[in-house]
Structure 1
Amino acid sequence: MPSFTTSGLELAYETHGLGEPILLIHGFASSGKVNWIDTGWVETLTGAGYMAITLDNRGHGQSAKPHDPELYYPTQMAGDALVLLDHLGIERAGVIGYSMGARIAAFLAYDHPERVAAMVLGGMGVNLINGLTDGNDIIAGLRAPGLADLTHPTARQFRIFADHTGSDREALAACMETSRQPMARADVRRIAVPVLVAVGEADEMAGRPEPLAEILPEGEAYLIPKRDHMRATGDKLFKAAALEFLSRTFPPRSIS
């Protein structure tokens, strides 16, 4: 995979297809491949006339994996995304983030609205503001010797996912300590780009999409039917809603 350097860390990325650029920012314990390629998002976006850019966040995938929690604040990870856009010579892109990636995307749009044409926040509703209540349990689960003694359902879920993806669990634990920093409600009100907030109907981690969309100046809400946090990621109705939103707010060149 090609890579770039940001804050002394080497991060991996890939570009797919041609057209208007869409930066894809994956969720916690995932990677560009797992979150966006394996779920069909890259194929969907390139088929619609976009260029899809997948990034492995610091601590994930084929990117550097520091164990220092001070290196995982969402503003720093949003800075990585900005450096990648600069590295690729892209002035303005659509951004799709899922879960942790949605939080990163929100901080990117707040700090640099001129670089974000439109944004889809998947798997992240009003808990962008309220915070993540299961974070400490997830950290404990990642650092536990094994699954046998883990009873907390979310902790077990993420431990199994981390093991499945071959992740560096100590890097993930460090990431969870600081990447879950909430965004202030007043800052959400200042995100001056079109935003689609899409959350699974059975997602207990993200919080409802409607309250967040109501706070955003140009927010829209979409409830993904019959999906929880994990199963909503590659849902076909989620993809369809995102494409419809992007067609209005950041259309591909072929239909503009």
Structure 2
Amino acid sequence: MPDTAGLAVRTLTPDAPAEAPPVLLVHGFGSDGAGDWIDTGVAAALTAAGRTVIIPDLRGHGASPAPESAAEATAPALAADLLAAADAAGAATFDIAGYSLGARVAWAVAAAAPDRVERSVLGGLSPVEPFTAVDIEALHRAVREGAQCPDPFTAAIAGMVSAHGDRAPGLALCVEGLRDTPFAGGAWDAKVLPVFVVGENDELTRGIDGLAGSLGARLVTVPGAHHEVLGGPHFRDTVLDVLAR
């Protein structure tokens, strides 16, 4: 079996392949590849356009193993997992699309391997790292013991994480790892500037226009709030348009 860093990975191939690199699709926090990309029709639209699609489940999510420590769930570590998945699929270069956490990790992939990343769509990306506000010890106690979190934001994250049952401890380690490697923007090192896509009612992405402007990158606004954008036709059409050859 190819070494995919232990991740669960779906690879979808088109009936009539186009002369274009594979597309790596990266899901959001608490979701998985099937929920974000297959159920929404994005993967099918890409394969219909002749693209091979690589859809990993991030560590701690879906059918992939949980991280054993926060160090395995930092943004660079998650990016290294995705590059291993691309290696296993034989993708020397690739386009990448990510949503929310997936966009954050896609940014780390471009930083780690800029010569391998061609076109990019970063959807639902927050310009700041939301997990820096989490009381990580309180989060782990809440997941482990059901303890109450005095901080409302940490309590909200704990509730979201705990809803995943047996997967909750691994997701809490993901929060810790991402908190330890917060998103800070900066330069985009890959060949082609990314295209940012945000929902017009998405409070989590407020301020992303500043990052896009500093890069000289395109920003596309589509209808919906954060949890609505990914399943909408405007997001799907934007992905197809940006990644088209």
Name the TM-score class by shorter chain. Answer: 0.7 to 0.9
CA distance in 1, matches of 2:12, 2:67: 27
Classify the secondary structure of the residue corresponding to 1:223: strand
Aligned to 2:195: 196
SS of aligned partner of 1:121: strand
2:124–2:199 contact (8 Å) kept in structure 1 = yes
The amino acid of 1:204's aligned partner reads E
Contact kept in structure 2, 1:29 and 1:158, CA below 8 Å: no
CA offsets 1:104-151 (integer angstroms, 9 cap, x no match) = 1001112211111111111104x2xx3216751797396286699999
How far off its partner does 1:239 sit?
Answer: 0.9
Which SS does the other structure have where 2:228 is aligned?
coil
Structure 2 regions of 5+ residues with no counterpart?
none
- For the residue of structure 2 that corresponds to 1:70, the secondary structure is helix
Is residue 95–residue 105 contact of structure 1 (8 Å, CA) maintained in 2?
Answer: yes
Secondary structure of the equivalent of 2:53? strand
In structure 2, what residue type is equivalent to 1:211? G
Contact 2:161–2:171 at 8 Å: present in 1 too?
Answer: no
Cα separation, partners in 2 of 1:93 and 1:191, compared to 1, 3 Å: closer
Q: Which stretch of structure 1 is more off in the superposition, 151-160 or 102-111?
A: 151-160
Aligned length: 237
Question: What displacement does 1:99 show?
Answer: 1.0
Task: Show the counterpart of 1:209.
Answer: 208
Partner of 2:220: 222
Q: Which runs of 5+ in 1 are unaligned?
A: 252-256
Q: Tell me what 2:79 maps to.
A: 78
Change (3 A) 1:232 1:153: farther
1:178 pairs with 2:177? yes
2:108: which partner in 1?
107
User: Which SS does the other structure have where 1:50 is aligned?
Assistant: coil
Contact 1:24-1:53 at 8 Å conserved across structures: yes
Structure 1 residues 34-43 or 175-184, which shifts more? Answer: 175-184
Pairwise CA distance, 1:100: 1.0
Instruction: Show CA shifts across 1:60-85 (max 9, x none).
Output: 11111124112111111111111111
Matched, 1:11 2:29: no
Q: What is the alpha-carbon distance in structure 2 between the residues aligned to residue 97 and residue 172 of structure 1?
A: 18
On the 8 A contact 1:198/1:209 being kept in 2, the answer is no
Render the CA deviation track for 1:25-83: whole Å, top value 9, x for unaligned: 11111111111111211112112221111101111111111241121111111111111
Q: Deviations over 1:171-217 (max 9, x none)?
A: 0011011224334444x244442311111112122334322211225
My pick for the range that moved more, 204-213 or 79-88, is 204-213
What's the counterpart of residue 240 of structure 2? 243
Structure 1 counterpart of 2:143: 143
Q: Work out the CA distance in 1 between the residues paired with 2:87 and 2:118.
A: 15
How far, CA to CA, are the matches of 1:137 and 1:198 in structure 2? 30
Structure-2 separation of matches of 1:65 and 1:160: 17
Give the % identical residues.
32
1:149–1:75 CA distance, 2 compared to 1 (3 A): closer
RMSD (CA atoms): 2.9
TM-score, normalisation: structure 1 = 0.80
On the 8 A contact 1:195/1:216 being kept in 2, the answer is no
| 1:214 alignment partner, SS class | helix
Task: Give the Cα–Cα distance (whole angstroms) in 1 for the partners of residues 81 and 65 of structure 2.
Answer: 12
Secondary structure of the structure 2 residue equivalent to 1:211:
helix
Residue pair 1:96, 1:122 contacting (<8 A) in 2 also: yes
* Separation in structure 2 between the aligned mates of residue 158 and residue 40 of structure 1, nearest angstrom: 30
Q: 1:64 to 1:137 in 2, by over 3 A?
A: same
Of the three residues 223, 227, 232, the one matched with 2:229 is: 232
**Letter aligned with residue 143 of structure 1:** V
